[in-house]
Structure formats: structure tokens, C-alpha cells
Amino acid sequence: MFTGIVQALGEVRARERGSLAVYAPSLAGELAVGGSVAVNGVCLTAVAVDPGAGTFRADLSPETLRRTALGDLQEGDRVNLELPLRAGEFLGGHWVQGHVDTVGEVVAVEPQPDGSYLFTFQVDLQYDPWIVEKGSIAVDGISLTPFDVREGRFSVAVIPHTYHHTTLKSRGPGARVNVEFDILAKYVAKQLSWVRRGA
């Protein structure tokens, strides 16, 4: 379980179809083989860790490549990283499982007078019921608050700190991003679907 509060930016050192190697000196020392780490919001398992070199490697399953944008990564790309939440730790964002629901697209990025940025994203229309105005959503592993939700689109206000300390700084119109909807919204939608069926 994660919170959507990015702890570090890593750098892709190598990406083959079935694996991903990441340089992350600030986090590699806390990782162990078999441990979990969120990479751009995707929960992966570290299969090799070299704290001295500051790197770790994770395997990428066909399902992960199909459901996320990790397959787009190239050597040198930056990635958002977060270690799992430990029991008793402060929950700064929202419950993020690291189970990406779909790949969305950046529609627009608009700088604001106060130094923040207004991002608009597009996802398939079928996901509209899971996007709650002023609720929670994870985009590339970043906990954000959607508003202006309409027809598969939603906007988020990104403060300068988040913009400069995550991969959002390199995301422009047309960029593909991992999107995970709030687990509570998904459970409610599931229950309502059964109610409508008369179950």
C-alpha cells in the first residue's frame, strides 16, 4: 500500500521488455530483494538490489506492460518512486494500491500566475463513474485532487513543489500517464452495479 506522495525521482538505467533497472541512490539502501516499490504508480517487486551502485531491478509482466505506460520508458527517463507505507506511518496522500487501472493522456498543461500548473487529463469514458469531484486520484503515482470532471476528462491543480519534484515537469500534451482511481470509488461503483442488477 502506498500514499501517492513521491519520495524520490529515479532514472531508468536499462529497460528490456521483461525488466526495468532504475538508479535510485536515496531509496536503494531501503529496498530488499522481494520488496515492493512503486514506479510511476505501479507496484513492482525488486528482484535485484545493489545499494552500493544505488540501483534496483524489477521484472515487468505482460499484464503490467499491457495495463500501464511503463513500456514507454527509455534509458535516461525519470520515474516517480515511493516505498510502501509502514504501519503507524503518517498517511499524507490517499490509499494507493499501485494497481494501475488504465493509461490516460495529458490534454493540456496551463501555467498559472501563482506558479502552479493546471493539468487536464483524458481517460476512456467508461471510467467516469470512478472519478469523483474533489476526491482522490493517482497519476503516475502522484496523489492528486480532480475537479472539472466531465466526459472522461478531469483537471488537477499542481503546486510548484509537486511540479518540480515529480515527472509532471516533463509531461506535456500527448504524454501517456498511469492512472489509478480511488479504491473506495471502485468499491462503491461495484456495489451499486449489483444493486441495480437486483442482487
The pLDDT tens digits along the chain (199 residues) read: 899 999 999 999 999 879 999 999 999 999 999 999 999 999 999 999 999 999 999 999 999 999 999 999 999 999 999 999 877 677 777 888 899 999 999 999 999 999 999 999 999 999 998 999 999 999 999 999 999 999 999 999 999 999 999 999 999 999 999 999 987 777 777 777 777 776 5
Assigned C-alpha cell, 119: 493539468
- Are 170 and 176 spatial neighbours (Cβ–Cβ below 8 Å)? no
CB count in 10 Å sphere of residue 180: 28
Q: Which helix (H) or strand (E) holds 142?
A: strand 142-144
Tell me if 8-82 shares its fold with 102-196. Answer: yes
102-196 CATH, one of 3.80.10.10, 3.40.50.1980, 2.40.30.20, 3.40.109.10: 2.40.30.20
Q: Where are the domains of the chain?
A: 8-82, 102-196
Fold that domain 8-82 belongs to in CATH: Elongation Factor Tu (Ef-tu); domain 3 (2.40.30)
Nearest 5°: the CA angle 171, 27, 93 is 60
- In eight-state DSSP terms, residue 161 is H
